[in-house]
């Protein structure tokens, strides 16, 4: 939203009379006051328009979506990529690379860290796990004693936050606990919270000894260790690499390269606006802790939607509704996941189980993995076009539009759709994006097959060409003539 200063600059830029511009530059009160009065009026009007266009239910504007994500504490966090590195020792002596040694890949100049030490005998090849991440140490001194004091984390260019630790400089071995949104944080507990703003900056927030966490005092110093990463990596290009620093003579004869098909964890970027739009549709009561009726779909989706094409999480009550009563399902959660291409399904399922157990220990070892069943969405579109439109071209446009929005791998098809896709949303999408349906003659209707109107939690509903039927015909032109133009 434009500020009063922005409006003032635009008003001055629109003035064509050089005498008025000169009087404004000289600070003539008669000119300056009038310009600023108009700017103030436009600024107030802009605020009224902003309030009037608030989206309480379905959020579509980027500003509304980011504001919702900020209020819900959805942080722009990334996941580092992990891979297996081959160490080729061509020297006549055994060499040891310690944990934390840095590697630079030749495909993008990214820095990787060894996750463990590796010893490789002379003229041999060894392997070690590496992670695309870097540590950055920050020292911050508190400048004022206040409740819920916070300060911004400054990351390197193009890098994202993956993890952070906080310790008081006077006791560097005692770390503060990360308590998201201060849930279950006791008064006086050494804890901190991570917050964000509309610019997606990340802040460390301390507490209040009288309410949650511990108050900080003026002059108190904290050691902050930040793990930052570039996030998503094109793993197909990971080939050769090299030691960032050569410390011994023998290391001059060492070469390193990424093992083929050796990726063990795919890197992910922070959630983009399109993905945040999906999370914005969840009620505000959803949280990272034990949520209402044990519904952890929001938690799992927020943490793992970057790694999966389909995610569904449902509790005992939902299971009984769709599958019938079963005593074996008491106090258990169910997950059905389709990982993205290249992501290991077993590893992803274990990570999701761990995340759920961390949020609520009741579900430790009480999460069942259910196989996903693919269920194409059966839709028939019937319509008529004005005589000037090309039928084949319009048919192709509709198919590309709907498959691109609701096909496999799309956000719209990434969650359980109990009633299938929203036909009103589809109709609006077609009307807005297909020019042939924007005149006052062409028309269409949508008919969903009965088998697609009720779906179970483990059924992955998506749209494909085989189950999308489009019947279009030409109608007469706008003059009402009995002949048509071919």
Nearest alpha carbon to residue 381 among 311, 437, 435:
437
Q: What share of the chain is helix, strand, coil (3-state, %, to 5)?
A: 30, 30, 40
400 and 470 co-located in one domain:
yes
Query: Is 275 inside a domain boundary?
Result: no
Say yes or no to pLDDT of 367 above 60.
Answer: yes
361 and 346 co-located in one domain:
yes
Query: Is 389 inside a domain boundary?
Result: yes
Residue 212 φ then ψ, to 5°: -150, 135
How much of the chain, in percent, has pLDDT values that exceed 70?
92
Q: What is the pLDDT of residues 377-417, one digit of tens each?
A: 999 999 999 888 888 999 999 999 999 999 999 999 999 99
The rounded distance, in Å, linking the Cα atoms of 416 and 393 is: 32
The pLDDT of residue 284 is 65
CA-based max dimension of the chain: 93
244 and 101 co-located in one domain:
yes
The pLDDT of residue 192 is 96
100 and 160 co-located in one domain:
no
The pLDDT of residue 113 is 95
CATH number at residue 299: 3.30.300
Which two three-digit tokens encode residue 121? Answer: 């005998």
169 and 213 co-located in one domain:
yes
Separation in Å, CA 150 to CA 25, 191, 208, 226: 40, 12, 12, 16
Average pLDDT over residues 82-90: 94
The rounded distance, in Å, linking the Cα atoms of 260 and 127 is: 12
118 and 248 co-located in one domain:
yes
Nearest alpha carbon to residue 305 among 282, 329, 322, 333:
282
222 and 244 co-located in one domain:
no
The pLDDT of residue 57 is 60
Separation in Å, CA 253 to CA 87, 95, 98, 438, 452: 11, 10, 17, 68, 62
389 and 470 co-located in one domain:
yes
The pLDDT of residue 288 is 64
The pLDDT of residue 419 is 94
Average pLDDT over residues 195-222: 93
Residue 17 φ then ψ, to 5°: -80, 115
- Is residue 477 very low, low, confident or very high in pLDDT (cuts 50, 70, 90)? low
Rg (CA), the chain: 29
Question: Is-above-0.75 flag for pTM?
Answer: yes
The pLDDT of residue 476 is 52
The number of domains in the chain is 5
The rounded distance, in Å, linking the Cα atoms of 224 and 152 is: 11
The pLDDT of residue 304 is 93
CB 286 within 8 A of CB 298: yes
Average pLDDT over residues 416-434: 94
Query: Is 482 inside a domain boundary?
Result: no
CB count within 10 Å of CB 323 equals 15
Separation in Å, CA 211 to CA 182, 222, 405: 10, 21, 46
Mean pLDDT of all residues belonging to the chain: 89
The rounded distance, in Å, linking the Cα atoms of 230 and 270 is: 10
* Beta strands 373-376; 379-385: pairing state: unpaired
CB 296 within 8 A of CB 318: no
324 and 437 co-located in one domain:
no
Q: What is the pLDDT of residues 281-294, one digit of tens each?
A: 777 666 666 566 67
How much of the chain, in percent, has pLDDT values that exceed 90?
63
Q: What is the pLDDT of residues 303-344, one digit of tens each?
A: 999 999 999 999 999 999 999 999 999 989 999 999 998 888
Which two three-digit tokens encode residue 4? Answer: 């009063």
417 and 462 co-located in one domain:
yes
The rounded distance, in Å, linking the Cα atoms of 227 and 317 is: 40
The pLDDT of residue 348 is 93
Query: Is 180 inside a domain boundary?
Result: yes
The pLDDT of residue 475 is 78
Residue 28 φ then ψ, to 5°: -60, 115
The rounded distance, in Å, linking the Cα atoms of 229 and 76 is: 12
Query: Is 63 inside a domain boundary?
Result: no
Average pLDDT over residues 45-55: 63
Average pLDDT over residues 250-268: 91
At which residue do the structure tokens 């020292």 appear? 139
The pLDDT of residue 290 is 58
The rounded distance, in Å, linking the Cα atoms of 103 and 134 is: 11
Query: Is 74 inside a domain boundary?
Result: no
Which two three-digit tokens encode residue 127? Answer: 């392997």
CB count within 10 Å of CB 139 equals 9
Torsion angle in degrees (nearest 10) through CA of 79, 84, 85, 89: 150
Average pLDDT over residues 80-88: 95
Query: Is 34 inside a domain boundary?
Result: yes
166 and 295 co-located in one domain:
no
Per the DSSP assignment, residues forming a β-bridge with 87 are 126, 256
Average pLDDT over residues 137-156: 93
Query: Is 23 inside a domain boundary?
Result: yes
At which residue do the structure tokens 């004091």 appear? 149
CB 220 within 8 A of CB 141: yes
Say yes or no to pLDDT of 485 above 60.
Answer: no
Residue 267 φ then ψ, to 5°: -75, 150
Say yes or no to pLDDT of 486 above 50.
Answer: no
The rounded distance, in Å, linking the Cα atoms of 307 and 340 is: 6
Enclosing domain of residue 380? 375-474
Residue 273 φ then ψ, to 5°: -65, -40
The 3-state DSSP class for residue 303 equals: helix
424 and 388 co-located in one domain:
yes
CATH number at residue 115: 2.40.30
Within 195-286, residue ranges assigned H as helices are 273-280
The pLDDT of residue 69 is 84
């Amino acid at each position: 939203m434009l500020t009063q200063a922005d409006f003032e600059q635009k008003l001055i830029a629109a003035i064509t009379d050089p005498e008025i511009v000169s009087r404004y530059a000289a600070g003539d009160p008669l000119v300056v006051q009038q310009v600023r009065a108009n700017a103030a009026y436009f600024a107030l009007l802009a605020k009224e328009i902003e309030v009037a266009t608030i989206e309480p239910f379905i959020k579509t504007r980027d500003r509304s979506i980011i504001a919702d994500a900020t209020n819900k504490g959805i942080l722009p966090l990334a996941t580092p990529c992990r891979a297996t590195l081959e160490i080729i020792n061509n020297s006549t002596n055994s060499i040891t690379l310690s944990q934390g040694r840095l590697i630079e890949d030749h495909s993008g100049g990214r820095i990787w860290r060894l996750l463990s030490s590796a010893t490789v005998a002379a003229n041999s090849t060894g392997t070690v796990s590496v992670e695309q991440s870097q540590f950055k140490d920050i020292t911050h001194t508190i400048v004022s004693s206040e409740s819920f004091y916070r300060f911004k984390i400054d990351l390197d260019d193009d890098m994202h936050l993956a993890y952070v630790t906080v310790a008081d400089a006077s006791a560097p071995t005692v770390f503060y606990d990360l308590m998201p949104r201060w849930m279950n944080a006791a008064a006086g507990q050494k804890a901190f919270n991570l917050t964000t703003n509309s610019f997606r900056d990340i802040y460390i927030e301390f507490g209040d000894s009288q309410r949650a966490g511990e108050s900080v005092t003026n002059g108190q110093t904290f050691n902050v260790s930040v793990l930052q990463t570039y996030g998503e990596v094109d793993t197909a290009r990971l080939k050769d690499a090299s030691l960032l620093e050569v410390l011994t003579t023998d290391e001059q004869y060492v070469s390193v390269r990424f093992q083929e098909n050796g990726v063990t964890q795919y890197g992910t970027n922070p959630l983009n606006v399109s993905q945040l739009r999906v999370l914005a549709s969840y009620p505000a009561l959803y949280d990272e802790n034990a949520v209402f009726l044990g519904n952890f779909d929001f938690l799992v989706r927020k943490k793992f939607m970057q790694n999966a094409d389909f995610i569904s999480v449902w509790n005992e009550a939902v299971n009984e509704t769709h599958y019938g009563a079963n005593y074996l399902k008491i106090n258990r959660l169910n997950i059905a996941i389709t990982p993205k291409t290249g992501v290991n399904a077993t590893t992803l399922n274990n990570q999701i189980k761990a995340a759920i157990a961390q949020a609520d220990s009741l579900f430790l070892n009480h999460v069942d993995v259910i196989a996903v069943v693919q269920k194409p969405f059966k839709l028939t579109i019937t319509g008529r076009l004005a005589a000037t439109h090309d039928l084949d071209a319009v048919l192709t446009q509709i198919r590309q539009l709907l498959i691109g929005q609701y096909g496999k791998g799309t956000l719209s098809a990434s969650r359980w759709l109990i009633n299938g896709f929203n036909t009103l949303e589809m109709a609006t999408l077609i009307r807005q994006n297909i020019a042939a349906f924007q005149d006052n003659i062409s028309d269409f209707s949508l008919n969903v097959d009965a088998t697609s109107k009720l779906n179970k939690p483990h059924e992955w509903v998506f749209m494909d060409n085989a189950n999308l039927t489009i019947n279009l015909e030409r109608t007469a032109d706008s003059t009402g003539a009995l002949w048509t133009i071919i």
